[in-house]
Structures are given as C-alpha cells and as structure tokens.
Amino acid sequence: MKKPEHIIILGAGLVGSLLAVYLLKRGYRVTLYERRPDMRKVQIPAGRSINLALSDRGWRALEGVKLAEDIRRIGIPMKGRMIHPQQDEIYFQPYGKEGQAIYAVSRGILNCTLLDLAEKAGAEIIFNQRCSSVDLANNTAKFLHSDTNQASEAKADLIFGADGAYSAARLQLQFTDRYNYSQTYLEHGYKELMFVANADGTHQFEKHALHIWPRGGYMLIALPNLDGTFTVTLFFPFKGNPSFEMLDSKQKVKSFFSEIFPDAVPLLPTLEEDFFQNPTGSLVTVRSFPWSFDNKLVLIGDAAHAIVPFYGQGMNCGFEDCTVLNQLLDEYDDEWEQVIPAYEQHRKPAADGIAELAVNNFYEMRDLVGHPDFILRKKIEAWFSEKHPDKWIPLYTMVTFSHIPYHEALKRGKQQDAIMDEVMKQPDIEKNWQSEKVEQRILSMLN
Amino acid sequence: MKKPEHIIILGAGLVGSLLAVYLLKRGYRVTLYERRPDMRKVQIPAGRSINLALSDRGWRALEGVKLAEDIRRIGIPMKGRMIHPQQDEIYFQPYGKEGQAIYAVSRGILNCTLLDLAEKAGAEIIFNQRCSSVDLANNTAKFLHSDTNQASEAKADLIFGADGAYSAARLQLQFTDRYNYSQTYLEHGYKELMFVANADGTHQFEKHALHIWPRGGYMLIALPNLDGTFTVTLFFPFKGNPSFEMLDSKQKVKSFFSEIFPDAVPLLPTLEEDFFQNPTGSLVTVRSFPWSFDNKLVLIGDAAHAIVPFYGQGMNCGFEDCTVLNQLLDEYDDEWEQVIPAYEQHRKPAADGIAELAVNNFYEMRDLVGHPDFILRKKIEAWFSEKHPDKWIPLYTMVTFSHIPYHEALKRGKQQDAIMDEVMKQPDIEKNWQSEKVEQRILSMLN
C-alpha cells in the first residue's frame, strides 16, 4: 500500500472534525463530507443533543492537537451528581477527588468550534453531501446532495467513516463476507427539555453539578449550559406504565412531572409544548467488526461503536480512537497497513468494554444512586482507595479520570464489585466501615 | 385488520414451502416467490447443502399437514454418532434410547418434494424473482428477475419473509425504528466433499450413523445419502494453523487429510479437485426482533433466526415455527393481529435458545465427544435418566427427541451440567458410578 496522500472523512461531526485536525497535522490532505448543512450558518433543530460531558480521555485527545484550551473556555466543570429525591432534600455525590470534574459542553458549540479549527488547519469541508454508498473496490465514496439529490462521487487513497451511529460506510461493510454486526436498542427513549435561567442569566440550580432525578425505572437529568439554562433529558420507557405512550396529553404530562419531579417543574415553563414538539430519541448500541476493509476504508467513533449515553463516554471514546490512531501512526511511521489492524486490535475490546459499562450505568443512575447502600459503598471505596491508591481505583474514576483501557476498567470494576458485595455483608458495616478490620478484609480479598 | 385473503411468501425453500401447505390447508390463497430457478428442473450447484437431520420437531410439523409419510421415504435413520479417532478404533455413541434416531435427508430432494406438495395443495410458485425491497406501508414486495433484471411487484394482504439467513424482508425491517439485529460469524467455515459408494451402491461406512472425526479445533462429519454416498463436511478455521488459508495447494490438502483423517481418504478419490472447486461456506448466527411489521410482514425460519448447523436444528426450528403458528391460528381463530404478536412471543426465546445451543454443540462435537470423561458423563446421565425419566432428560434428547421449548431445554441443560460437574468430582467415579450413592447425590442436588 502506498502512503495515502489524500484522505476523505465521511462525517464532519465531533470525531470527524477532530480526526481531520490530527491527519492534517501529519501532512495529509483531508476532505470532509458532511450530510447536514454547515451548522455554523444555520439553526440546529432543538431537542436532539444529549449534552456532552468531556472527561479525561476527551481532553487528552484535544491536547494532542493543542485544542484543549480553546474548548475549555466553552465547558462548565461538574464536580459530582446532585441527587433530587422525590421526597427528601437534594444532596451531592462527588465524582472523584477534590479537583476532579467532568465538563458540560454544548454539542453544537463544540462541533462549530472543531469545524473552525479543522478549517484553520487546512481541511476542505463539503456540506450537504449524503454518502449513499462506498465503492470498496475503487476507494470511491458516492454522494447525493441533501437538497437537490444530485449525484457525485469522490475518490481518495483512504476513506474514514466517521459518519455516526447510522453510518453509510458501515452499512457498506455489512454486505461484505463474514461481517459481524449488531444494533441493540434499549426499551427506553429520551426527550430533551430546557430549564430556564434566572432573569440575570445565572443558573437556578447548582451550576457545577450534573443533576439527577433517579426514579427507579427511569430518570431525569440536567446539564448546565453557559447561558444559565440547563439541557434536561428524560430517559423513559417507550411502553408500559409510566411511558411515553401513556403520557399522551399535555394535562397528563403536567401532572406526571408535578408529582414525580416537583422541583423541576417551575424551571420548565413550556414543558407541555416542548414535550410534544421535541422528538423522542431512541438509544442504540452498535457493535461491528472488522472496522476496516482492505486498508481502504476505516471506521471510527460512533460509526464503529455507538453506545448509550449513560457513562458520558460516547464522544470521549471516539476522541480516544483519534489519540490511539495517532500514537500508532507515530509508532509505525505512518505505515497504514500496520496501523489499521493495530488500531482495530487496540480499540475493539475497549469499545466493547465501554458499551457494556454504559448500559450498566443506566441502572446505576436511574436507580442505585438514590439508595443508602449505594452511597455507603461509594464512601467505603473512596476511603479505601485513598489509603491504597495503588490497589484500588473506583470504577467511575477509572472510566472518567484515567486512561486505563475501558475493558480493563470493566474487568477490574467487576472484581472490585465482588469484593464490595462481601464487605457490605459484614455485620454493622454501616457503623464500623472505617475500621482496620474492614481494610484488612479488603486487602485479603485483593490478593 | 381484515382477515387476509391472499398471502405472499418470499422464498420457496424448506420453510416457505411447508408454510405454504399449512396456509393453503387453512383456506388462504398463497403465492410463493423464489429467487432461484425451479430446482426440480435444473441442476443444483454442488457443495452448499450441509446435509439435513430431521428430528422430532421437524416430523411433528410435517405430520401436521400429513406430509411425514412422503418424507420418511427419503430419509435414513441415524441412531447415533460413529466416532473416528485419529489413532484408535472407531466406536459408536447412541443419540438416545433404543428406537430413537435422527434422519439424514438431502436438502435438494426434500425441497423438491415440498415444492411438489405445495403445488399439489394449490400454491402458485413464481421462480427467478429476487425480492429487492418491501414497501412496508403498502404491503407490496418488489422483485427483479434473476436473469433479465426486469422489475415487477406484487401486493398481498400479508407477506411472509421465509427468504433465509440473508433475507431481503428482514433487511427492510432493519431500517425501521428501533430494530434489534445482529449477525455473528464463527471463525470457522465449511467445505463440502463426498464419500463414494461401494460398487454395488451400498455405503462404505455404517449407514445408520452420523460419522464424526473430532480433532479439537475442527472436525469432519459425514451423513449418509440414499445412493450409498455420504455428504461430508469439513468444519475448519479460516485462518491460523491449520486453516483453509494454509491448505493452499492440492499437495497440502492431500497430506493433511492423509495424516488427520486417514480412514476417510480412500473414500475421497477426487479430494484435491473437490476441495478447490467447492466453495468455502461461512457460518452465521442471525438474531432479530421484532419479527413483524404492523401485521403486514412476518419473518419465519432462517430469515428470523439463522443458526449454525451443529445441533442439526436449523430446519427443525423453522418447521416448528410453522407448527406453533398453526396452533396459534387455531387458538385465535385466524385473528392475525393476535396471532402475530403471540407467535413472536413464543418463538423468539426459543430461537435464541437454539442459537446458543447450536454454537455450544460445535465445541462438543469437534472436541468433547472423543474424551473419556465426556463418554462417562453421557453414560451416567443415560443411566440416571432411565431410572428417573420424570426427573432427568439428557439435553440432546430434550432438543432432538422432545418438544420442550428450546430455551427451556437450554436452562435445564445448564442445571444438569452443573450437577454432572459435581458428580464427576466424586472419587473413583469411573468405577462406582452405577451406585445408590451417586443416584442419591444426584437426587439431592435436583431438589
């Protein structure tokens, strides 16, 4: 394979734009093709973002091309979860140690910023081009103009599919021999709403927290925006009781929210209108393999491994794809026929790991976070981890504030969970957890 | 939904043809559309059948429309496995009790027979029509003629997708909202070969057995045909050592077979030619859900749930779909809007169960069947089951010689396996397995 000179990236979303910057800095000529119009020039339809939470893996990828400072200006640190029980007082659970935080970022603002930075780095970006198919034998992507339906095509030495969960590039691979593929939907969907700001533009709830209303089978969450609003998301069953299907009138929506999320309702002045105007999104996990074809087409980000949003890792994982790819390009001196298989071998188990973690975290967020047992577990873990940071890192910290491969975090998390199950069975654990006996018990199980 | 008058079935394979007979007997008008030419009139390409093994579930489905007698004439009972070790003497393992057998049937002959029977029952069968898409909103299937590519379409009150593992009907569903789908390939493929008959048309190996050459990571199997030949299948890794990739010359094929399957080689006079002429098949498991759209399109057989062939249940499972569907039509008096969801609810867990069992049985066949521990386990199970037939049915018997739902068999099989793991740990079990102590031990674990 001769060294590629011109690379096409399908999709100018978050991962596609960042990948473009990485490849441009390595000296490749890069053209991005994007299905949608230029979002810097048109209004983005409301209600489809699921606000993003940038954490350490994402930051490292941005730092790799010196973009972190630009992005940090548009982020809001969230230091923990603010839990809103249905009856009791709200309370705070820190995500990690002092100084650790995840950053709420608006998807739209972040994407616009990355498009600017990609263009500044030399990318050509062509909008309104929907990829209709990829001619794998001839390295050629085929497009239809999103408005006029006019056909066109483009050939390159290498094509990246960064075109998201419903990737056209991946669909092409799906028809090749022995392609492993799955798409799995949760029985829950999501609906986006908006908390209004105070009159002076400040936030009506604590700004430096991710707010959760855990309600067992479902939950409401809220992430702060720069303008004092919060982006609010209801994760809710499509069918059953309660469900989207049941809330079929404005009156039912109002009375449901008033009963279940009482402190949220005053911040949702247009609740009933928004509820029926905004779309109901679905939540899919996509697994695929291989992520490449004949060193001509490579999948990256959601196109390779879309996950559900409950660990806040979708974008972070896609950004980490870029970091790892770049490291491998360094390591193999841009010999793509070595880089591509190594990239797949590195990232496939990681992607499978975070896919599992993300689904698991839904149960934690919507249910467990509100239970006294869960809170005690987290306390014991934090206490022990502080005493033995070399022996124990809480799972959330491994995923969010470390670069431990996701599958390794998943495995260690399961081992730690089994140990905590034992610890929680100790008599009077809620009283004597800060004891040497408990410490020794954990140490003995770790060996 | 008004009662359908005209039903289209996509695919005139085994399940499509049998389903047609069932629906015709209930008074529906049925048209079958088949991608291939009429196999009763043209030569079928060699090397793609994986011989079939009809067992109790399949027989019941055939009996339901009084076809069992016609089919029994073209089947050969196989009473057990004949194991061919690499070094030692061959030996026999019965599948079940005296009188129990599975039946080797040629896919081609069975399909031709079912096509005849479907036509006799009143089906219209249109060949050379490849379904290109289904217009779900308008109950309309679209076709391209396999030779001329001429487009046509057909509308019906209800469309069945019986179009196999690479179903066009299912692909259409895959683009509907929240469709769960997976295709998973084994890292093994298969190659079909043929054992020649004796000069007098008799079989060169025992006729009433399924022959297995278990070799750990791979295996050879052989099923008898009516004409004295055996259809032989090598299940073998695509890559690695050994693998299809490695056997890249006639000389390597010959010396590999001579070393690994010495007693098979004399029956394979055209081994080297056939090995390179016949295609290498791949082995896929397909999971999908739902199996229907808006009571207009329903999937059945491999189109809904393709499985790997190692339990010999692919066709039997598809035929059982027909039995269950027919029972539900009886139960709900042909009210399809009740029948279709009930069919999906009944069959989805069963299909998932046999998919898992089929993959598991590959390990058993290619590896475990040759081990003394395995043989002892089977003996103990058979002995205990004979004493307590109400308490214990060996897994193979549940799957093959019963109508216990597959997922129930899987669950009970796992429980029994855990018990047998314990039993096998007893000291000197190989000597004292036929003891009251062992019997009591199993009984106590069952409670």
What residues in A contact B179, CB-CB < 8 Å? 183, 185
A277 to chain B, any CB pair closer than 8 A? The answer is: no
B5 vs chain A: nearest CA distance in angstroms? 32
Q: Do B183 and A184 touch (CB under 8 A)?
A: no
Q: Does B428 touch chain A (CB under 8 A)?
A: no
Q: Are B110 and B52 in contact (CB under 8 A)?
A: yes
pLDDT at position A105 is 94
pLDDT band at B417 (very low <50, low <70, confident <90, very high): very high
Which of B170, B185, B287, B308 has the most A C-beta neighbours within 10 Å, making it the best mutation to test the interface with A?
B185
B154-170 pLDDT tens trace? 999 999 999 999 999 99
pLDDT of A49 over the 80 cut: no
Contact A118, A9 (CB under 8 A): no
Out of A178, A182, A184, closest to residue B282 by CB:
A178
A345 in reach of chain B (CB within 8 A):
no
Taking residues A41-50, report their average pLDDT: 70
Q: pLDDT band for B364, please (50, 70, 90 cuts).
A: confident
* Partner residues linked to A89 by β-bridges: none
Percent of chain A clearing pLDDT 90 (strictly above):
91
Confidence check: pLDDT of B49 > 80: no
Q: Please report, as a single letter, which amino acid is at residue B404.
A: I
Overall average pLDDT of the B252-269 stretch: 97
Domain A6-50+69-74+106-183+285-361 belongs to what topology?
FAD/NAD(P)-binding domain (3.50.50)
Nearest to B179 among A174, A180, A183 (CB): A183
Span B79-85, average pLDDT: 96
| Residue B406 tokens, joined | 């597959």
Q: What is the pLDDT, as a whole number, of residue B313?
A: 97
Is A181 within 8 Å of B177 when comparing Cβ atoms? no
Task: Give residue A165's pLDDT.
Answer: 95
Q: What is the reported pLDDT for A276?
A: 97
pLDDT tops 70 at residue A50: no
In 3D space, the residue among B436, B433, B396, B425 whose CA is nearest the CA of residue B412 turns out to be B396
**pLDDT of A247-287, one tens digit each?**
999 999 999 999 999 999 999 999 999 999 999 999 999 99
Q: What is the 3-state secondary structure (H, E, C) of chain A?
A: CCCCCEEEEECCCHHHHHHHHHHHHCCCEEEEECCCCCCCCCCCCCCCCCCEEECHHHHHHHHHCCCHHHHHCCCEEECEEEECCCCCCCEEEECCCCCCCEEEECHHHHHHHHHHHHHHCCCEEECCEEEEEEEHHHCEEEEEECCCCCEEEEECCEEEECCCCCCHHHHHHHCCCCCEEEEEEEEEEEEEEEECCCCCCCCCCCCCCEEEEECCCCEEEEEECCCCCEEEEEEEECCCCCCCCCCCCHHHHHHHHHHHCCCCHHHCCCHHHHHHHCCEEEEEEEEEECCEECCCEEECCHHHHCCCHHHCCHHHHHHHHHHHHHHHHHHCCCCHHHHHHHHHHHHHHHHHHHHHHHHHHHHHHHCHHHCHHHHHHHHHHHHHHHHCCCCCCCHHHHHHCCCCCHHHHHHHHHHHHHHHHHHHCCCCHHHHCCCHHHHHHHHHHHC
DSSP B393: -
Q: Mean pLDDT in chain B?
A: 95
pLDDT of residue A14: 97
pLDDT of residue A239: 96
> How far is B196 from B274, CA to CA, in rounded Å?
13
Burial class of residue A36, CB neighbours in 10 A (0-12, 13-18, 19+): middle
User: Of all residues in chain B, what percent carry a pLDDT higher than 70?
Assistant: 98
State the pLDDT confidence band at A47, using cuts at 50, 70 and 90.
low
Instruction: Check whether A44 has a pLDDT greater than 90.
Output: no
Q: Which of B178, B182, B284 sits opposite A182 (nearest CB)?
A: B182
Please identify among residues 162-181 of chain A the ones whose CB lies closer than 8 Å to any CB of chain B.
Answer: 174, 177-181
Mutate which of B181, B280, B308 to disrupt the A interface (most A C-beta within 10 Å)? B181
Largest CA distance in chain A: 73
Nearest CA in chain A to B184: A180
Residue B88 has pLDDT above 80, yes or no: yes
**Sorting pLDDT into bands at 50, 70 and 90, what band is B70?**
confident
Closest Cα in chain B, distance from residue A189 (Å): 10
Q: Is the ipTM of this complex over 0.95?
A: no
State pTM to two decimals. 0.89
What the block records as the tokens of B88 is: 């030692």
**pLDDT tens profile B302-343:** 999 999 999 999 999 999 999 999 999 999 999 999 999 999
Residue-wise pLDDT tens digits, A292-337: 999 999 999 999 999 999 999 999 999 999 999 999 999 999 999 9
Whole-number pLDDT of residue B80: 96
A436 shares contact with chain B (CB less than 8 Å): no
Among B177, B183, B282, select the one facing A181 at the smallest CB separation.
B183
| Token pair 């981890």 in the structure block, residue | A385
CB B114 within 8 A of CB B18: yes
Chain B residues with CB under 8 Å of A184 CB are 180, 182
Q: Does residue A368 or residue B420 have the better pLDDT?
A: B420
Residue A58 has pLDDT above 70, yes or no: yes
User: Cβ distance A67 to A159 under 8 Å?
Assistant: no
pLDDT in tens, A377-412: 999 999 999 999 999 999 999 999 999 999 999 999
The full set of domain ranges for chain B reads: 6-50+69-74+106-183+285-361, 371-446
